[in-house]
Chains A and B, each alone.
Chain A
Amino acid sequence: MSTQEGASAVAEEQARIAEEVRAMAAKDQPAIEMIDVHKWYGEFHVLRDINLRVKAGERIVVCGPSGSGKSTLIRCINRLEEHQRGRIIVDGIELSDDLKRIDEIRREVGMVFQHFNLFPHLTILENCTLAPVWVRKMPKRQAEEIAMEYLTRVKIPEQAHKYPGQLSGGQQQRVAIARSLCMSPKIMLFDEPTSALDPEMIKEVLDVMVDLAQSGMTMVCVTHEMGFARQVADRVIFMDAGQVIEQNVPAEFFENPQHERTKLFLSQILH
């Protein structure tokens, strides 16, 4: 009974997301728009002249050498980092110092981190229900049902009452994805989600991400998993020295890179 309700809740959510994606696409409103964005860490010019439009439902993979600013770029989208010049508009709301608007955006933008960042003092289920209950003011029972559905979707419902420290890295990252999805975000950001995982655990996380991409979620992923990029990305963006060097559809990007830096990078990572 309850799982059925949960399942229908998830189905409703997915229908809602699809509806929103269609609505936004119809209005031609981009999910994310970055216009001439610059950012400095002290004297260091970490992001330079970033112009990026992400359409609703689009899947973007951002890659580049370490220190190229790709993590900083996606962390600017939910204001974990502050940009100093240019405009960033997410889901129709412009990022500014207005804390209320930032929280409004953060409610609609899920984020998955390299080091999972699960809350170690809470069980897996509590990790998943915390934001829906405290941010969305959802009744606890309903939040738990939805959380169980997403935990089932990432294939670890049996771990719900354990603590993060008792799970493997791959399991923790799948929980982190489920935790973000419980807020029914319109956009998902992935910041090198498989970089801290043991080789054997990468696939289980990528499988979840592929599944999510195929459900129509708007996704921006910083990752070096080129197989994932080929399989699901609509566009691959290559960054170096704080700027976008090249972007293209995956087939073209991998088969026919234009910029010398891109060619060098691809030759280093594709063996």
Chain B
Amino acid sequence: MAEQHSEVDRFFVREQMVEAMPPPGVRRGAGDWFRRNLFSSVPNGIMTILALLFLAWSIPPLIQWAFIDAVWEGTNREACLGPDVGACWAFVKAKFGQFIYGRYPIGERWRVDLVFLLLAAGLVPMAIPSAPYKALNALFLLVIFPVAAFILLTGGFGLRVVPTEFWGGLLVTLVVAITGIVVSFPLGILLALGRRSKMPAVRLLSIAFIELWRGVPLITVLFMSSVMLPFFLPDGVSFDKLLRALIGVAFFSSAYMAEVVRGGLQAIPKGQYEAAAAMGLGYWPMMYLIILPQALKLVIPGIVNTFIGLFKDTSLVLIIGLFDLLGIVQFNFTDSNWATPQTAATGFAFAALVFWIFCFGMSRYSMFIERRLETGHKH
């Protein structure tokens, strides 16, 4: 018997190939899914039960407050007074115009609407990869739209001039955030390349810029721009407060963006640079065609992180007297017409919801783009 066995071990020639079979023991169905995902082990089961208890404890009161007990209609605080009143959505409804436009003159608000509309018209087809005319679309979004938006919002050319002091709400939030994003992305890339440059002067300047802006809090930057800067400018020279805030925010986020992009540049293997150089590509074509497309793809999560941070940091312009969405919501708490116990909570909930929609949208879109750019295994 043993002899026979060793015989088998020594000589073997396969006569028939084994066909691929499905793995054993895979059951499908709801019960199996629960067992594998929610109760696969004792600690996992405990966590599942705790999470369910937490949801059962937190969700019903929230729904009760936000929907069932909420006040939807009303013209002043009277509607939202009472022992068991929930969210005072009537307040948001009454102040909605201010939340969106700030103190922008009511008769001119169509101009802001038009800007929002143009932005959407440019952004939506740009964001859909299969939409045609990408080059024209980019031209519209990066050249025509900013000029049009500037004229529409500030006035001139026959339009009534609206100083930026009157801007506010979501308008200011979007102006600051979008300018910050549009400036910081290319500037950050240039700074990241500069920091890795072989030219000492370029490298030193980039490092100085990045470390200077990264080393100070955004609040300090905004204070400096609004309080200190006028001291350094000659008498009679002043420029717009919003513009100063825009420059401060843009430079600030450029420094962060630069470091994110640098992380991506460092992750690109040396061989990619060498292959590009060996075929005679110069520095800029190499960066544009080979290195940056790969580096930026790698750091999409970091880039979007910076964008989202920037979007939320726009609220800090409040401290230099500009009213972004959150600022104008808070400002309206002081309106005695709407002073109720629920006003603040409702206002904050509304502001949080708006911020969340924008940030979550950016997050989801970036994940979509990441999946789209996936081209198989890395080297």
Contacts and interface: CB of A to CB of B under 8 A. Distances in A.
Interface of A: 78, 80, 99, 103-104, 106-107, 109-111, 113, 115-121, 130-131, 134-135, 163-166, 179-180, 183
Contact of B275 (A113, A135, A166, A183): A113
A134 B269 CA distance: 22
Given A165-B378, A166-B376, 15 more contacts: A103-B280, A103-B282, A106-B278, A111-B278, A113-B271, A113-B275, A117-B275, A118-B275, A119-B275, A120-B294, A121-B293, A121-B294, A163-B375, A165-B376, A180-B279
Nearest to B373: A121
A183 B279 contact: yes
B307 to A, nearest CB: 22
Given A80-B274, A113-B274, A135 B280 contact: yes
A115 B379 contact: yes
Nearest to A119: B290
B279 A120 contact: no
A120 B280 contact: no
Contact of B376 (A104, A107, A111, A163): A163
B228 interface: no
Contacts of A179: 279
Interface residues of B, number: 24
Nearest to A75: B274
B148 interface: no
B379 A120 contact: yes
Interface of B: 269, 271-272, 274-282, 285, 289-290, 293-294, 297, 373, 375-379
Contacts of A109: 278
Given A80-B274, A121-B293, A135 B279 contact: yes
A178 to B, nearest CB: 13
Given A121-B293, A130-B289, A165-B378, A106 B277 contact: yes
Contacts of B289: 130, 134
A135 B286 CA distance: 11
Given A80-B278, A130-B289, A165 B375 contact: yes
Nearest to A106: B280
B378 A120 contact: yes
B274 A117 contact: yes
A175 B141 CA distance: 38
Nearest to A176: B275
A134 B281 contact: yes
B280 A80 contact: no
Interface centre among A78, A118, A131, A164 (most CB of B within 10 A): A131
Contact of A131 (B272, B279, B373, B379): B279
A117 B280 contact: no
